Chains A and B, each alone.
Chain A
Amino acid sequence: MSWIDRLKRLVSGAESNGEGPSGPNPPGGVTCEEAAERLFEFLDDELPEEETSSLAEHFQACARCYPWLLHEKAFRDAMVRALEGQVPPPELGDRVLDALKEEGFRPH
């Protein structure tokens, strides 16, 4: 499951109303410090499945870390929106095709 799906599930699943931080039994068995260290890797979907689940559990239950997750996600969305907004001019496709045809490419 991609992190976006995971996040959606997280958001729809449960209210984030945990008391947060460390304590003797932090949510997901992960402290806030550990969650902060792995936040970027979590969002990039780069952690092993087990670690991902414990972190998801932590974010879901921790009132301190959950907004941070949403904040980072909002930042990513803004970046992707800006980058994707740059569409190539419509004639570029034809221009590239013409150049390729000159070198023997024959599209079907």
Chain B
Amino acid sequence: MGVSDDGQRIFQEEILPNLDAVYHFAMRLAGDPDRAQDLTQETFLRAWRSRDSYTPGTRAKSWLFTICRNLFLRRENRGKRHREILSEVADDDPRQISRESTVFMNAKDRDPEGAFWREVVDEEILRAIDELPLEFREVVVLSDLEDLSYEEIAEMLDIPVGTVKSRLFRGRRALQEDLFEYALEAGVISKEHT
């Protein structure tokens, strides 16, 4: 195999620095550290083998996440649930979802600025994220952690931008509702209006 210096350099400078980001993403897909490490290693090997398909200077992260996700999905049998979720979100108006986020309305008398979110422990947040169906989990992680734009996520997942928004907003709303329940149970925010 002919390995040009240029290919080596680009891989080292643009691809390799994304190890942490790929691991974060792999963790949320695979769910445990051992599988996430395997998936990360495999992603970089696959990236190295297909480095010719990477355009230097473009979003290396999106490219790596796509590889990572494809590797993961190949092992998963998503089948029926996947299609159900797709049809379920098809008619949603994302702005309606934004408007109807209710946790703020429930909490505002006691904690208008949402200070209680700081008291929710990381383990609970990760548990709630991991309980989301994959279709919602992946857009939330790609947007909120990796800061990809709606357009980049749409391209990566091969779905319309409207579907990205709808899944993202619904995913966040579900997370908030789940974690708000926890916050009430844990006494992080009081149950009674004061």
> Residues on A close to B: CB < 8 A?
33, 36-41, 44, 46, 67-68, 70-89, 92-93, 95-96, 99-100, 103-108
Contact = CB atoms under 8 A, between A and B. Distances in A.
Given A40-B97, A88-B23, 4 more contacts: A33-B99, A68-B104, A74-B118, A108-B8
A52 B169 CA distance: 19
Interface in B134-191: 140-141, 143-145, 149-150, 165, 168-169, 172, 175-176
Nearest to A81: B122
B70 to A, nearest CB: 18
Interface string B84-116: 000000000011111101011001100011110
A71 B104 CA distance: 7
Contacts of B16: 107
Interface residues of B, number: 57
Interface of B: 1, 3, 8-9, 11-12, 16, 19-20, 23-24, 27-28, 33, 36-37, 40-41, 44-45, 48-49, 94-99, 101, 103-104, 107-108, 112-115, 117-118, 120, 122, 125-126, 129, 140-141, 143-145, 149-150, 165, 168-169, 172, 175-176
Task: Summarize B's interface: helix, strand, loop or mixed.
Answer: helix
A18 to B, nearest CB: 15
